[in-house]
């Protein structure tokens, strides 16, 4: 907790200083050097963070701030924009995204009462710090394609499974590859997943894509399931269970054997199953329908 001096309020700029300093202290206490490249260079472009609009590299403490955000949120590009810059480039920041605060340091010389700058050598310059909020290009939509391109990144070869590739392509789903996270966005009917090469064992990428396609089947224009329940609710956990089982069923049908099982939602699943001994039956039934819906795309090609 930041210390407040008696009789004075914590200034926003003091909060910024304290926040950045405390974060670096925490990194050091954990045995990490935050000024060393913290990400996997096989999936993230190396070098310094840059403003995607001007092309200028950030400097000073902003490098550490943006590197931390890059690593923490798993972004794959070191290009950043303000909200207005994204709009000026024809795009926009996605609703619900949280930006990263960077700062700009400068000095000014106070003026005399008549508005003129004093020529006195004793007139001291006053340092000031402005704060700005920037967003990674991965948090934006509608920007020029060149800003999303992973130029300079050596991703290596993909380990593809032809039958799975054909099924995924046949769905026609809007899938953005290169996102820092995996998700399905019902509003835009869009799937986002990381690069396959970002997975230590690439076969697990297919499990992820098929999980998100499981959600995709629930869109109102397809199998019409409830996709609007808030995170943490029982209905949200039930839909995650359906997508998980859909992925498992589809992987089995394609002969894909993932090497990991994500445990993110195990706690919420247990709550649902303990509260309703029929929940797993309903989830498995819905998952089978979702898996059959996906597999039909592959059968249409044969």
Residues 149 and 183 in one domain: no
The two three-digit tokens of residue 152, written as one number: 């300079």
pLDDT band at 6 (very low <50, low <70, confident <90, very high): very low
CB 140 within 8 A of CB 86: yes
Residues 168 and 105 in one domain: no
Percent of the chain with pLDDT over 90: 34
Average pLDDT on 136-160 reads 77
Cα–Cα nearest to 138, from 87, 194, 184, 187: 194
> Which domain covers residue 242, as residue numbers?
159-301
For position 152, what pLDDT does the model report? 47
Residue 157 forms beta bridges with which residues?
Answer: none
Selected residue with higher pLDDT from 284 and 290: 290
Domain membership of residue 8 (yes or no) is no
Dihedral Cα 289, 294, 300, 302, nearest 10 deg: -110
Q: What one-character-per-residue DSSP string does 16-79 give?
A: HHHHHHHHHHHHHHTT--TTS--S-TTTS--S--EETTT-PBP-THHHHHHHHHHHHHT-S--E
Domain membership of residue 288 (yes or no) is yes
For position 73, what pLDDT does the model report? 82
Domain membership of residue 289 (yes or no) is yes
Q: State how far the Cα of 68 lies from the Cα of 26, in Å rounded to an integer.
A: 12
Residues 167 and 286 in one domain: yes
Selected residue with higher pLDDT from 253 and 111: 253
The two three-digit tokens of residue 285, written as one number: 């039934």
Residues 210 and 105 in one domain: no
Selected residue with higher pLDDT from 31 and 194: 194
Domain membership of residue 7 (yes or no) is no
Q: 3-state class of 210 per DSSP?
A: helix
Q: State how far the Cα of 283 lies from the Cα of 162, in Å rounded to an integer.
A: 29
pLDDT tens for residues 207-261?
Answer: 999 999 999 999 999 999 999 998 889 899 999 989 988 998 899 889 888 886 5
pLDDT band at 265 (very low <50, low <70, confident <90, very high): low
Q: Among 154, 184, 218, identify where a domain stops.
A: 154
- How many domains, in total, are found in the chain? 2
pLDDT tens for residues 60-94?
Answer: 788 878 888 887 887 878 899 999 999 999 999 99
For position 298, what pLDDT does the model report? 77
Q: What one-character-per-residue DSSP string does 110-156 give?
A: PB-TTSPBP--TTPPPEEEEEEEEEEEGGGEES--HHHH--TT----
List of residues 6+ apart from 207 with CB closer than 8 A: 247, 251, 256, 258, 260
Selected residue with higher pLDDT from 205 and 278: 205
Looking at the predicted structure, is the pLDDT value of residue 120 above 50? Answer: yes
pLDDT band at 4 (very low <50, low <70, confident <90, very high): very low
For position 8, what pLDDT does the model report? 42
In degrees and rounded to multiples of 5, residue 241 shows phi and psi of -65, -40
Residue 176 forms beta bridges with which residues?
Answer: 192
Looking at the predicted structure, is the pLDDT value of residue 150 above 80? Answer: no
């Amino acid at each position: 907790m930041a210390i407040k001096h008696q009789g004075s309020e914590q200034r926003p700029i003091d909060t910024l200083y304290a926040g950045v300093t405390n974060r670096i202290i925490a990194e050091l206490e954990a045995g990490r050097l935050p000024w060393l490249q913290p990400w996997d260079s096989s999936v993230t472009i190396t070098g310094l963070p840059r403003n995607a609009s001007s092309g200028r590299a950030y400097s000073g403490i902003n490098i550490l701030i943006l590197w931390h955000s890059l690593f923490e949120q798993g972004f794959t590009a070191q290009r950043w924009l303000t909200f207005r810059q994204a709009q000026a480039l024809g795009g926009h920041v996605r609703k619900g995204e949280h930006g990263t605060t960077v700062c700009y340091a400068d000095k000014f010389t106070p003026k005399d009462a008549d508005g003129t700058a004093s020529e006195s050598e004793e007139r001291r310059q006053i340092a000031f710090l402005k704060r700005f909020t920037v967003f990674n290009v991965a948090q934006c939509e509608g920007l020029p394609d060149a800003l999303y391109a992973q130029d300079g990144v050596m991703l290596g070869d993909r380990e593809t499974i032809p039958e799975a590739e054909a099924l995924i392509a046949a769905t026609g789903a809007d899938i953005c590859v290169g996102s820092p996270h995996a998700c399905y966005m019902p509003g835009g009917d869009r799937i986002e997943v990381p690069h396959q090469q970002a997975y230590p064992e690439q076969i697990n990428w297919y499990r992820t894509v098929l999980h998100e396609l499981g959600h995709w089947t629930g869109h109102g224009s397809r199998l019409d399931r409830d996709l609007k329940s808030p995170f943490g609710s029982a209905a949200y956990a039930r839909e995650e269970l359906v997508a998980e089982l859909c992925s498992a069923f589809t992987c089995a049908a394609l002969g894909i054997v993932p090497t990991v099982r994500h445990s993110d939602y195990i706690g919420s699943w247990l709550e649902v199953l303990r509260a309703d001994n029929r929940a797993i039956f309903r989830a498995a039934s819905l998952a089978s329908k979702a898996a059959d819906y996906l597999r039909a795309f592959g059968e249409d090609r044969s």
